[in-house]
Structure 1
Amino acid sequence: MHENGEPREAMRLDEVERPAPGPGQVLLKVRAANINFPDALLCRGHYQVRPPLPFTPGVEMCGEVVEAGEGVTGLAPGTRVMAQPALPGGAFAEYAVADASAVAPAPEALDDAEAAALHIGYQTGWFGLHRRARLQPGETLLVHAAAGGVGSAAIQLGKAAGATVIGVVGGPEKAKVARGLGADVVVDRRSEDFVSVVKEVTGGRGADVVYDPVGGDAYTGSTKCIAFEGRIVVVGFAGGTVPAPGLNHALVKNYSILGLHWGLYNAKDPAAVRACHEELTRLAAEGVVKPLVSERVPLDGAADAVQRVADGTTTGRVVVVNP
C-alpha cells in the first residue's frame, strides 16, 4: 500500500527486502494469511491503527519460524505457528516479522489455511460469548452475518457451548452455509423478518445473547427481540452504520449492551488470550471448531480477495496461500 484507497485499486505486488527480526521478534515464512475485514479498513485508512505508508496489510497468518531475534527462546527454525505480524509489515507477503508475544503454536488438527483463520475470529467469538456475554447452555444465541468469517465462528462456538443458535444471513447460498455450520434456525434477512422469527422460535421470550458484527438495522432489530436480561455484544459495524443506542429502551427492557474490542485483551490480559488459545486448540482437536475456508487464493489475487471480503460477497474465510 503506497497510498490509502479501496483494496482492489490501491493494493499491488511489490518487491521489497526480506525483513529482519529485532530483539524479541521472529522472522516467519508465511504459509497462509487470513483476510479480515480490518484489512480493508487498513487499506482505506479507516482502522484505529494507521501504519505509516508504505505498508503491507495482513493481520493474521500461519507460517514457520525462520529466525529468532535476540532474547527469543523456544521458537526453533521450522516451528509451525500462528501469528499477528508487526505492522507495517503485514502477512500478505512471503516473509513477515512478528513479536514473539504475538506467536502461538498452530493446532495440529488444522491445515495452514485453517490455522491462519483461527486466531482473531475465534478469539473474538470466544471472548464475546463467554467473557462478555456469559453464554449459558440452553440459552438462545442470535448471530448476525452468520455465514461470514466472524459469524461462522460464533455459530460453532455457540453450539459448542450448548446454545440454540439462530443465524441471520443475506441470500440463499449464505443460508446453506450457515445451516452447514450447525445453526439450528437460519433467517434470510432479504426475504424474512428476523425479529418475528426469533420471537416465534423462542415462544415470545427473545434471544438471550445477540452477537452483532453488523450494526445499523441489525442492531436496531435486535433490540426488538432481546430477552429479559439479554445481552447484545457489539462486535463491529460491517454494515457501515454505527447505531446510537436508546439507553431508555435498555433500561425499560432490562438488557445489556456489551462492547467487545478483542485486541485490548492482548495488552490488558494476555494470560486470558493464551488460555483461550489452549481452549480453541482443544476444541479443534475434538473437531468441534474448524474454520470454514471457502477460498484459497494466491498472493497476486490478494487485492481482489480483500475487496470482496470488504464488499460482503464472500462466505466463511478467504485465505491467501503461498506455495
Structure 2
Amino acid sequence: MKGISVKKFGGPEVLTVDNNLPIPSFTDDELLIKVSAAGINPVDTYIRTGTFPDPPSLPYTPGLDAAGVVEKVGKNVKNFKVGDRVFTTCSQGSGTYAEYTVSSPLYVAHLGDTLSFEEGAGIGVPYYTAYKTLCILIRARAGETVLVHGASGAVGIASVQLAKSMGLKVIGTAGTPDGMKLVKDNGADFVFNHREEGYMNKITDAAPEGIDIILEMLANVNLDKDLEMIKLRGRIGIIGCRDEVKIAPVKIMFKECVVTGVILLHTTECEWREMHGALEAGIKYGWLKPHIGLKYPLAQAPKAHDTVINNAGTMGRIVLQI
C-alpha cells in the first residue's frame, strides 16, 4: 500500500511517501480500515521530532485520526461490519497517513452518512479532546461562561460547538479577522483578537459575571494571565503548551481554582464509550460539524506538518486526502 514512512526523527522532511508498505495485519479483536482521509494534529509533529514521551519505534507511519470504510473485521468484533463508514482516533494499532490502518474497536465510531470522509477525519483528537475537557474533567454546566483561547483551531472550533450545545456562554479568541469570523459563525457569543493590545480587558468586560472555565491552547503564553481572569473556584483545562511556564502558585491558592492537564492517551474504556455515544449523537443531531480549513494530498504531508505549526492564524482542521 501507499503511505508515509518515517525512518528517522526530525523535521517535516522526514515524512516520505513509500508505495510498497505492507498492509498492516490485524487480530481477531481489531478492524482493518480503508482510509479516505487523515487528520493532521499538532501532536503528530511533536511525535515526529522524537521529543514526545514514549516515541514510536522506527520506521513508523504517523497519524492518529482517520475516516474511511471498514475493509475487514476480526471475528471477535461485534459492533462493526464490512462496509461501515467510520472514523478512528488514538488507536495503538497503526498510523493513519496510509491507505489502510488497523484499530481496536474501542477507538472507532460510526460516521454515518451525514458527513464527508474529510469531515470525519476532522473529528478525532479535536472533538474527543473538547468533550473530555468540558464534560469529563471540567464538568461544565449550562449557564457557565467559558473562554476558549485559540478558538479558530480544530480543538477550538470543536470546543465552541460543544459548549454552545451544552448551554454555556462562549467567549473565543483568534488571531485574524477570518479566524474571528469563523469562531463567531460557529456560535461564540463574543470573539476577540488575541494579537490586539488589551484584548484581555475586553474579555473581562464581556463577562462581568466572571469566567468559570478557560480552555488553554498555549499555556506557556497565557496561563499566568488566565489565573488572574479565572473566577473563584473556576477551572482551567490545559490542552496545549509549547514551552515551560512560570507562574506564582499563590494565584492558584488565592482563587482556589483547578488547573488540569488534558491528554487522550489516559482516557479509560468507559470514557471512550461515553465520548463515542456523545459524538455519534452530535453527528446525528447536527451540533458536530468540523470545519476543514485545508486539504493536502498524501505527498504534501511535510507541508501539512509545517502549516499546522507555522501559520498566521489557524482556521479549523487540516486533512490529508488519501
Task: Compute the TM-score of the two structures, normalised by the length of structure 2.
Answer: 0.92
Where 1:108 maps in the other structure, the secondary structure is coil
Give the Cα–Cα distance (whole angstroms) in 1 for the partners of residues 197 and 184 of structure 2.
Answer: 16
- Deviation, structure 1 residue 19: 1.9
Q: Which residue of 1 aligns with 2:318?
A: 318
Q: Which moved more, 1:294-303 or 1:66-75?
A: 66-75
Q: Which residue of 1 aligns with 2:3?
A: none
Give the Cα–Cα distance (whole angstroms) in 2 for the partners of residues 26 and 282 of structure 1.
Answer: 22
TM alignment of 1:153-192, pairs within 5 A: 153-192=158-197
5+ long unaligned stretches in structure 2: 1-5
5+ long unaligned stretches in structure 1: none
TM alignment of 1:291-306, pairs within 5 A: 291-306=290-305
- Correspondence for 2:249 among 238, 247, 250: 247
Give the Cα–Cα distance (whole angstroms) in 2 for the partners of residues 277 and 121 of structure 1.
Answer: 13
List per-residue Cα deviations over 1:197-237 (Å, max 9, x = no partner). 1221122x431100012111221221121112211111121
List per-residue Cα deviations over 1:1-40 (Å, max 9, x = no partner). 1111122x11111121222213322221101111111111
Give the Cα–Cα distance (whole angstroms) in 2 for the partners of residues 54 and 169 of structure 1.
Answer: 37
What amino acid maps onto 1:211 in structure 2?
L
Q: Which moved more, 1:32-41 or 1:297-306?
A: 297-306
Give the Cα–Cα distance (whole angstroms) in 2 for the partners of residues 130 and 88 of structure 1.
Answer: 27
Where 1:219 maps in the other structure, the secondary structure is helix
Q: Which moved more, 1:84-93 or 1:9-18?
A: 84-93
What amino acid maps onto 1:234 in structure 2?
I
List per-residue Cα deviations over 1:115-146 (Å, max 9, x = no partner). 12213211111111122222122211100111
Q: Tell me if structure 1 keeps the 8 A contact 2:152–2:179.
A: yes
- Correspondence for 1:223 among 216, 222, 227: 227
List per-residue Cα deviations over 1:93-125 (Å, max 9, x = no partner). 111122233222224322111112213211111
- Deviation, structure 1 residue 85: 6.6
- Correspondence for 1:64 among 69, 72, 91: 69
Give the Cα–Cα distance (whole angstroms) in 1 for the partners of residues 133 and 90 of structure 2.
Answer: 23
Q: Which residue of 1 aligns with 2:200?
A: 195
- Deviation, structure 1 residue 169: 1.4
Q: Tell me if structure 2 keeps the 8 A contact 1:195–1:224.
A: no
List per-residue Cα deviations over 1:25-58 (Å, max 9, x = no partner). 2221101111111111111112223111111111
Give the Cα–Cα distance (whole angstroms) in 1 for the partners of residues 204 and 91 of structure 2.
Answer: 45
Q: Which residue of 1 aligns with 2:273?
A: 274
Q: Does 1:77 align with 2:82?
A: yes
Q: Which moved more, 1:279-288 or 1:150-159?
A: 279-288
Where 2:159 maps in the other structure, the secondary structure is helix
Give the Cα–Cα distance (whole angstroms) in 1 for the partners of residues 90 and 177 of structure 2.
Answer: 36
- Deviation, structure 1 residue 262: 2.4
Q: Which residue of 2 aligns with 1:145?
A: 150
Q: Tell me if structure 2 keeps the 8 A contact 1:113–1:293.
A: yes
Where 2:96 maps in the other structure, the secondary structure is coil
- Correspondence for 2:17 among 13, 16, 40: 13
Give the Cα–Cα distance (whole angstroms) in 2 for the partners of residues 215 and 258 of structure 1.
Answer: 11
Give the Cα–Cα distance (whole angstroms) in 2 for the partners of residues 194 and 229 of structure 1.
Answer: 23
Q: Which moved more, 1:88-97 or 1:54-63?
A: 88-97
- Correspondence for 1:263 among 262, 265, 290: 265
List per-residue Cα deviations over 1:234-255 (Å, max 9, x = no partner). 1121xx2232442211111222
- Deviation, structure 1 residue 76: 2.4
- Correspondence for 1:27 among 14, 28, 32: 32
What amino acid maps onto 1:216 in structure 2?
N
Q: Tell me if structure 2 keeps the 8 A contact 1:155–1:183.
A: yes
Q: Tell me if structure 2 keeps the 8 A contact 1:55–1:87.
A: no
Give the Cα–Cα distance (whole angstroms) in 2 for the partners of residues 249 and 44 of structure 1.
Answer: 34
Where 1:13 maps in the other structure, the secondary structure is strand
For these two proteins, the number of residue pairs brought into alignment is: 315
Q: Which residue of 1 aligns with 2:98?
A: 93
Fraction of identical pairs, as percent? 29
What amino acid maps onto 2:234 in structure 1?
G
Where 1:150 maps in the other structure, the secondary structure is helix
What amino acid maps onto 1:4 in structure 2?
F
Q: Tell me if structure 2 keeps the 8 A contact 1:55–1:88.
A: no
Give the Cα–Cα distance (whole angstroms) in 1 for the partners of residues 91 and 143 of structure 2.
Answer: 40
